[in-house]
Amino acid sequence: MANSKFEYVKNFEQPDKLLPNTWIVVRIDGRGFTKFSTKYTFSKPNDIRALDLMNAAAKAVVTELPEITIAYGVSDEYSFVFHKTCSLFERRSSKIVSTIVSTFTAYYIHYWSTYFPDTPLSPPLPSFDGRAVCYPSVQNLRDYMSWRQADCHINNLYNTTFWALIQQGGIDALEAEKMLKGTLAADKNEILWSKFNINYNNEPAIYKKGSVVFRDYELVQPGTHNTAAEVDQQAEQVQQSKNQAEKDKKSRAKAQVVIEHLDIIKDEFWDQRPWLLS
Ligand code: ATP
Ligand code: ATP
Ligand code: MG
Ligand code: MG
Ligand code: MG
Ligand code: MG
Ligand code: MG
């Protein structure tokens, strides 16, 4: 339909290219999941089926989009990180965000019956919002990831205590809220231990740490363990050689996507997987 008299309307489109050479984070979040989790009677504070479903959808997204380096999820949200050299959709924000949101939502609905076999979905169907944010340095990106995981920890400790007070302590939500107002982490740990014999440290890692989804290269090439220095060197060569970049793309596409529940605030996780940020 080239050169019709209507074509001028295309000029109304606004450019929305994300800043080059920055780490792109797309965070999606379930719309109205407070209500949604009540409708499908999610167990409180953590429904494992709902978390496993979020993770299955996220794993499918990471598998379908090899440009994604790592993803982190908690509750009804997921953050997807694109490498700073990513050129997907010429880095157009609305294209990237809408593709992530629709791919995630499609898989969430596709996998629903696997995790909730006895509760069919009915309208209003689950939906997600999304946004893209650019982080110019690895430190900023690490701080972003730390921010989400710290949030997971704070909320989970609060929710675990809150729901223990209600479910096991027999008090109502208002009383529980009052009781927890102004308490520090140590106070909540103490309430859990003294009143309910719960050692917070022994809670499942998926609840305490959230979920990390990434490509595990070492599982793909067993026995070819590289030191951090060697991987750094390799990363340099990749930039120099197009051939190598092509190879790298292929091994990314082939690499197994894994889901772990690890600390991503400390250096250890990143130091052990230098390919994630190189
Ligand atoms: P918005 O549309 O603004 O995001 P929302 O109701 O989704 O509104 P959130 O701040 O995103 O608000 O909160 C998510 C809600 O979903 C929380 O109330 C949380 O308890 C609930 N939720 C999400 N996942 C789970 C889960 N696995 N188990 C139990 N509850 C969950
Ligand atoms: P992109 O991801 O860039 O959008 P695309 O392959 O989806 O790539 P479009 O320009 O969106 O490219 O074109 C949509 C394609 O889908 C066209 O080839 C069109 O013929 C085909 N298509 C869409 N709907 C139908 C339909 N109902 N029947 C037959 N073909 C269809
Ligand atoms: Mg929200
Ligand atoms: Mg939400
Ligand atoms: Mg949320
Ligand atoms: Mg199309
Ligand atoms: Mg089209």
User: Are the C-beta atoms of residues 24 and 82 closer than 8 Å to each other?
Assistant: yes
pLDDT of residue 237: 62
Asked if residue 75 has its Cβ within 6 Å of ligand 1, the reply is yes
pLDDT under 50: residue ranges of the chain: 219-225
**DSSP character string of 101-150:** HHHHHHHHHHHHHHH-TTS---SSPP-EEEEEEEE-SHHHHHHHHHHHHH
Does any ligand 1 atom lie closer than 6 A to the CB of residue 124? no
Query: Among 76, 116, 158, 163, which is best to mutate for testing ligand 1, by the most ligand atoms less than 8 A from CB?
Result: 76
Per the domain annotation, does 265 fall within a domain? Answer: yes
pLDDT the model gives residue 248: 72
Assess if residue 240 is contained within a domain. Answer: yes
pLDDT of residue 252: 75
Per-residue pLDDT of 37-74, as tens digits, reads: 999 999 999 999 999 999 999 999 999 999 999 999 99
1 is a domain residue = no
pLDDT at 246: 79
Q: What CATH number should be reported for the domain holding residue 260?
A: 3.30.70.3000
Tell me if 3 is assigned to some domain.
no
Domain membership flag for residue 190: yes
Q: In what order do the strands lie in the sheet with 23-30?
A: 128-135, 23-30, 77-82, 68-74, 211-216, 256-260
pLDDT at 222: 42
pLDDT of 170 reads 97
CA distance from start to end of the chain: 44
**Domain count for the chain:** 1
In a domain, 152, yes or no: yes
Q: Does residue 162 belong to any structural domain of this protein?
A: yes
Structural domain of residue 234, as residue ranges?
A: 17-276
The model's pTM: 0.90
pLDDT digits (tens, 9 = 90+) for 233-247: 665 665 666 787 777
Q: What are phi and psi of 171, to 5 degrees?
A: -100, 165
Question: Whole-angstrom Cα distance, residue 192 to residue 209?
Answer: 18
Query: Was 29 annotated as part of a binding site?
Result: yes
Does 10 map to a domain? no
The CB of 115 under 6 Å from ligand 1? The reply is no
